[in-house]
């Protein structure tokens, strides 16, 4: 993956972003640390990266509009230097993945340049590593200028549909 430039992010980011060489960091006005990382995905079809986002407290900060704006600035920089696919899976911690999915989609739908991206959200009925039923929320984000846009969406749509239609 091409490295993100924190200086470029900070041109528009409300919180100052810095990098330790791998992970992007920022700290909110409430002194809560956030980290954003992109992890290479192992799918055999397209180059893609999982967006990882976590904070120190493990709690949402719904009143702080600077947080989504900062994360969007980081995502913008990701796509500037990596014209690939971004995947996002909501954490299953405390069973709040549905709320996290809605929050993430709201961040992106509120984004003034959303016309630049296609975002597809999927509910995936799955089983975890211990075999327990679980529901994952996965978002697929692609630049509209991606020459493989239709192929990528068709591939993910068909795989997720096949997966969710499966009757054991």
139 within 8 A of 122, measured Cβ to Cβ: yes
Check binding of 52 to other proteins (CB under 8 A).
Answer: yes
What is the dihedral angle through the alpha carbons of 130, 35, 115, 92, rounded to the nearest 10 degrees? 20
User: Binding pattern to other proteins, positions 18-47, x when CB under 8 A?
Assistant: -----x---------x-x-x-x-xxxx---
9 within 8 A of 74, measured Cβ to Cβ: yes
Nearer to other proteins (CB atom), residue 79 or residue 156: 156
Q: Which stretch binds other proteins (CB under 8 A): 5-13, 59-67, 76-84, 119-127?
A: 119-127
Per DSSP, 16 falls in state -
Which SS3 state, helix, strand or coil, does residue 60 take?
A: coil
Q: How far apart are CA 126 and CA 142, in angstroms?
A: 24
Copy the structure tokens of residue 166.
């499966």
CB-based burial of residue 85 (10 Å sphere; 0-12 exposed, 13-18 middle, 19+ buried)? buried
Nearer to other proteins (CB atom), residue 57 or residue 114: 57
Nearer to other proteins (CB atom), residue 21 or residue 115: 21
Q: Residues 67 to 96: which contact other proteins by CB under 8 A?
A: 87, 89, 91-93
Nearer to other proteins (CB atom), residue 4 or residue 87: 87
Residues that bind other proteins (CB under 8 A): 23, 33, 35, 37, 39, 41-44, 50, 52, 54, 56, 58, 87, 89, 91-93, 124, 126-129, 136, 138, 158-159, 162-163, 166
């Amino acid at each position: 993956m091409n490295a993100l430039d924190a200086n470029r992010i900070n041109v528009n980011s409300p919180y100052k972003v810095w990098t330790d060489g791998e992970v992007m960091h920022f700290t909110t006005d409430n002194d809560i640390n956030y980290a954003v990382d992109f992890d290479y995905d192992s799918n055999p079809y397209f180059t893609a990266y999982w967006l990882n986002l976590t904070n120190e407290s493990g709690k949402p900060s719904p009143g702080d509009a600077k947080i989504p704006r900062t994360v969007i600035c980081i995502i913008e920089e990701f796509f500037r230097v990596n014209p690939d696919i971004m995947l996002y899976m909501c954490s299953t911690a405390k069973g709040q993945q549905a709320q996290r999915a809605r929050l993430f989609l709201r961040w992106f739908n509120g984004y003034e340049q959303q016309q630049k991206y296609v975002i597809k959200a999927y509910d995936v009925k799955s089983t975890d590593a211990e075999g327990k039923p679980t529901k994952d929320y996965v978002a697929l984000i692609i630049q509209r200028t991606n020459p493989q846009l239709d192929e990528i969406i068709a591939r993910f749509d068909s795989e997720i549909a096949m997966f969710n239609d499966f009757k054991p």
